[in-house]
Structure 1
Amino acid sequence: MSRSASQYCKAYIYHNGNPLLLSHSIEGNGGTYEVASNTILLTLTVGDQVWIKTETGTYCHGYPFTAFSGWKI
């Protein structure tokens, strides 16, 4: 079955410009949704930058089901 780009959700975690992690999910058959989850631990120093980049797709941007959490330990 061919899927359109809008049926995918890809979320990358970047650290100082380097992609470290990819979470990927796709709409299942019959309108069901797959779940993607990942965990990464980073040791950060002053000035480090961490961000999330998502690819275009309604399943990342069109529904309120996407979340990100971070902790400073």
Structure 2
Amino acid sequence: MSGGSSDDCNTYIYNNGNKMMMSYSHDNGGSGNEEASTTILLSLMTGDHVWIETAPGSVYCHGYPYTGFSGWKL
């Protein structure tokens, strides 16, 4: 995983330890309400493990209650 600056918010979606997708947001001194989103479709098997992580140094992501994650079984 690569790190980010304190003004970055890098998030990664993993499937069984493999990085599948990244989203990125950078605060350019604006309102502080910058946002990023991403969508990924994964074909999962029983026992697969999916999770989200923030990059080291992406302190801009932390401490805000405005983060969400959704998943659906189709």
Alignment length, in residue pairs? 70
The answer for unaligned runs of 5 or more in structure 1 is none
Radius of gyration: which is bigger? 1
Give the distance between the partners of 1:30 and 1:12, measured in 2 at CA. 24
1:35-62 CA distances to partner (integer Å, 9 max, x unpaired)?
2110000111111111101124332112
Are residues 1:61 and 2:44 paired?
no
More helix by share: 1
TM score, norm. by length of structure 2: 0.80
The answer for unaligned runs of 5 or more in structure 2 is none
* Percent of pairs with identical residues: 53
TM score, norm. by length of structure 1: 0.81
Give the distance between the partners of 1:46 and 1:30, measured in 2 at CA. 43
Q: Which has the higher contact order (CA 8 A, sep 6+)?
A: 2
- Runs of 4+ aligned structure 1 residues displaced above 3 Å come to 30-33
